[in-house]
Amino acid sequence: MAARRDAPEPPDFGILKRLARDQLVYLLEQLPGRKDLFIEPDLMSPLDRIANVSVLKQHEVDKLYRVENRPAPSASEQLCFLVRPRVRTMRYIADIVNADKMSGRSRKYKIIFSPQKFYACEMVLEEEGVFGDVTCDEWSFYLLPLDEDIISMELPEFFRDYFLEGDHRWINSVARALQLLNSLYGPFSRAYGIGRCAKMSYELWRDLEEESENDGQGRKPEIGNIFLIDRDMDYVTALCSQVVYEGLVDDTFRIKCGSVDFGPEVTSSDKSIKVLLNAQDKIFSQIRNEHFSSVFGLLSQKSRNLQAQYDRRQGMDIKQMKNFVSQELKGLKQEHRLLSLHIGACESIMKKKTKQDFQDMIKVEHALLEGFDIRESTSFIEEHIDRQVSPIESLRLMCLLSITENGLIPKDYRSLKTQYLQSYGPEHLLTFHNLKRIGLLTEQSPGETLTAVESRVSKLVTDRAAGKITDAFNSLAKKSNFRAISKKLSLIPRVDGEYNLKTPRDMAYVFSGAYTPLSCKIVEQVLERRGWQGLEEAVRLLNGNEFAMADGAAEDAGDAQRTVLAVFLGGCTFSEIAALRFLGKERGCRFIFLTTAVTSSGRVLEAMAEHSA
Amino acid sequence: MSRARADEEEYWHSSKFRAFTFDDEDDELSQLKESKRAVNSLRDIVDDDDDDLEKVSWSGEPVGSISWSIKETASSSSSLEGRDISLQKGSSSYALPKQVSSYSLSSLFKGRNRLPSLSSLSDAFSDMGVKNYAPELRRPKAEYKDYSNDWSPRDTVRRMQRGKVCSLERFRSLQDKLVLLDEAVAGHDGNVITAVLIFLKRTLRREILFRELEVRQVALCHLIHFLKEMGEQKLLLDLLRFLDRTEEVALSQYREHLNIQDVEKKREFLKGCIGLPFSAEDTSHIQDHYTLLERQIIIETNDRHLEMGGQSEIFRKYPRKASILNMPLVTTLFYSCFYHYTEAEGTFSSPTNLKKTFKIPDKQYVLTALAARAKLRAWEDVDALLTTKNWLGYTKKKAPIGFHRVVEILQRNNAPVQVLQEYVRLVEDVETRLNLATKYKCHDVVIDTYRDLKDRIQLMAYKCKVERGSAEEEKINSLLNNTQIRWKN
Q: Is there a contact between B234 and B250 (Cβ–Cβ < 8 Å)?
A: no
Q: Is the pLDDT of residue B390 over 80?
A: no
pLDDT at A317: 79
CA separation for the pair A28, A13 (Å, rounded):
24
Q: Which of residues 220-249 of A touch B (CB under 8 A)?
A: none
Quote the distance between the C-alpha of residue B81 and its chain's center.
Answer: 34
A494-531 tens-digit pLDDT? 877 788 888 888 999 999 989 999 999 999 999 999 88
Range of the domain at A542: 150-234+517-608
Any bridge partners for residue A145, and if so which?
A151
Residue B72 pLDDT level (bands cut at 50, 70, 90): low
Closest approach of A342 to chain B, Cα-based (Å): 10
- Which pLDDT belongs to residue B90? 36
pLDDT for the residue B29: 62
- Asked whether residue A451 is domain-assigned, the answer is no
Of the residues A141, A169, A197, which one is the last residue of a structural domain?
A: A141
What pLDDT is attached to residue B334? 94
| Record: contact B52-A330, CB cut-off 8 A | yes
Would A179 be classed as within a structural domain?
Answer: yes
Q: Is the CB of A333 less than 8 angstroms away from the CB of B231?
A: no
pLDDT score of B51 more than 80: no
The CA distance from A330 to A322, in Å, is: 13
Which of B17, B35, B254 shows the shortest C-beta gap to A343? B35
Which CATH number characterizes residue A103's domain?
3.40.50.2060
Q: Is the Cβ of A465 closer than 8 Å to some Cβ of chain B?
A: yes
Report the alpha-carbon angle B6-B7-B10, nearest 5. 90
Residues A522, A581 within the same domain: yes
| Partners of A230 in beta bridges | A569
Residue in A closest to B80 by C-alpha: A73
Contact B65 A183 (CB under 8 A): no
C-alpha B204: how far from chain center: 41
Statement: residue B136 has pLDDT above 80: no
Percent of chain A with pLDDT over 90: 52
Looking at the complex, report in whole angstroms how far the Cα of residue B108 sits from the nearest Cα belonging to chain A. 7
State yes or no: pLDDT of A47 exceeds 80: yes
Looking at residue A540, which CATH number applies to its domain? 3.40.50.1910
Q: What CATH number does the domain containing A427 carry?
A: 1.25.40.850
Say if the Cβ atoms of B221 and A500 lie within 8 Å.
Answer: no
Q: Is A338 on the interface with B (CB under 8 A)?
A: no
How much is the pLDDT for B181? Answer: 93
User: Which of the four pLDDT bands, split at 50, 70 and 90, describes residue B456?
Assistant: confident
Residue A465 inside a domain? The answer is no
Q: For a pLDDT cut of 90, what percent of chain B falls above it?
A: 33
State whether residue A389 sits within 8 Å of chain B by CB.
no
Beta strands A78-83; A108-113: pairing state: parallel
C-alpha distance from B38 to closest chain A C-alpha (Å): 7
Measured between beta carbons, the chain B residues lying within 8 angstroms of A340 are 36, 39-40
Contacts of B188 in chain A (CB under 8 A): 168, 171-172, 200-201, 203-204
User: Among all residues of chain A, which has the CA nearest to that of B187?
Assistant: A204
Domain co-membership, A350 together with A365:
no
Angle between helices B233-242 and B206-214 (to 10 degrees): 50
Question: How far apart are alpha carbons B419 and B374 in whole angstroms?
Answer: 11
Tell whether A30 and A135 lie within a shared domain: yes
Residues 6+ apart with CB under 8 A from B8: A301
pLDDT band at B269 (very low <50, low <70, confident <90, very high): very high
Q: Judge whether residue B92 has pLDDT over 50.
A: no
Pairing type for strands A563-569 and A134-138 reads unpaired
Q: What pLDDT is recorded for position A595?
A: 97
Position A481 in a domain: no
Residue A113: enclosing H or E segment and its boundaries? Answer: strand A108-113
Over residues B312-339, the mean pLDDT reads: 91
At residue B42 the predicted structure's pLDDT band, cuts being 50, 70 and 90, is: low
Would you tell me how many other CB atoms lie within 10 Å of the CB of residue A401?
24
Contact criterion met (CB below 8 Å) for A532 and A548: yes
Give the pTM.
0.82
In this structure, are A133 and A48 located in the same domain? Answer: yes
A170 at B interface, C-beta within 8 A: yes
Are residue A17 and residue A120 in the same domain, yes or no? yes
Contact B35 A300 (CB under 8 A): yes
Compute the average pLDDT of residues A341-345: 89
Q: Report the gap between the CA of A525 and the closest CA in chain B (Å).
A: 22
pLDDT of A471 = 41
What is the length of chain B? 489
Q: Is A429 in contact with B251 (Cβ distance < 8 A)?
A: yes
Q: pLDDT for A360-402, tens place per residue?
A: 899 999 999 999 889 999 999 998 999 898 899 999 999 999 9
**CB contacts, 8 Å: B62 with chain A:** 274
- Please tell me which residue, A202 or A474, carries the higher pLDDT value: A202
Between chains, do A99 and B91 touch, taking CB under 8 Å as contact? yes
* Beta-carbon-side half-sphere exposure of residue A412 (alpha carbons within 13 Å): 22
Q: Quick one: pLDDT band at residue A194, thresholds 50, 70, 90? A: very high
Q: How many CA atoms lie within 13 A of B451 on its CB side?
A: 18
Closest-CA distance of chain B to residue A99, Å: 7
For residue A507, the chain B residue with the least C-alpha distance is B1
**Maximum C-alpha span of chain A:** 95
Give the separation between CA A428 and CA B248, rounded to whole angstroms: 15
Alpha carbons A16 and A39: distance in angstroms, whole number: 21
Please name every residue paired with A136 in a beta bridge, in sequence order, or none if there are none.
A111
Of the residues A354, A373, A389, the one at which a domain ends: A354
Does A137 share its domain with A189? Answer: no
Q: Are strands A273-276 and A259-262 parallel, antiparallel or unpaired?
A: antiparallel
For helices B246-255 and B263-273, the axis angle rounded to 10 degrees is: 170
Question: What's the pLDDT at B148?
Answer: 52
Domain total in chain A: 4
Would you give the end-to-end CA distance of chain B in angstroms?
A: 47
Chain B residues in contact with A304 by the CB 8 A cut-off are: 12, 38
A165 and A176 belong to one structural domain: yes
pLDDT at B45: 54
More confident residue, A495 or B312: B312
User: Which chain B residues contact residue A344 at CB under 8 A?
Assistant: 36
Query: Among B191, B54, B332, which residue's Cα sits nearest to residue A172?
Result: B191
Distance from CA of A41 to the nearest CA of B (A): 9
- C-alpha–C-alpha distance, residues A349 and A245, integer Å: 10
User: In which band, very low, low, confident or very high, does the pLDDT at A450 lie, cut at 50, 70 and 90?
Assistant: very low
Separation CA B47–CA A330 (nearest Å): 11
The β-bridge partners of A594 are: A151, A567
Closest CA to A398 of A433, A442, A434, A430: A442
Cβ–Cβ gap B222/A168 under 8 Å: yes
Mean pLDDT, rounded, for B98-109: 35
Predicted ipTM of the assembly? 0.89
The answer to whether residue A146 scores a pLDDT higher than 90 is yes
Cα B239 to Cα B207: distance, rounded to the nearest angstrom: 9
A17 and A137 assigned to the same domain:
yes
Average pLDDT along chain B: 76
Per-residue pLDDT, averaged over A449-458, amounts to 48
- Chain B interface, best mutation among A47, A277, A333, by max B CB count within 10 A: A333
Q: What is the DSSP string of A496-538?
A: SS---SSS-SSGGGGGTTS---HHHHHHHHHHHHTSSTT-HHH
Distance, CA of B22 to CA of A252 (rounded, Å): 15
Residue A182 lies in a domain: yes
CB contact under 8 A, A169 and B191: yes
What is d(CA A265, CA B68) in angstroms, rounded to the nearest whole number?
22
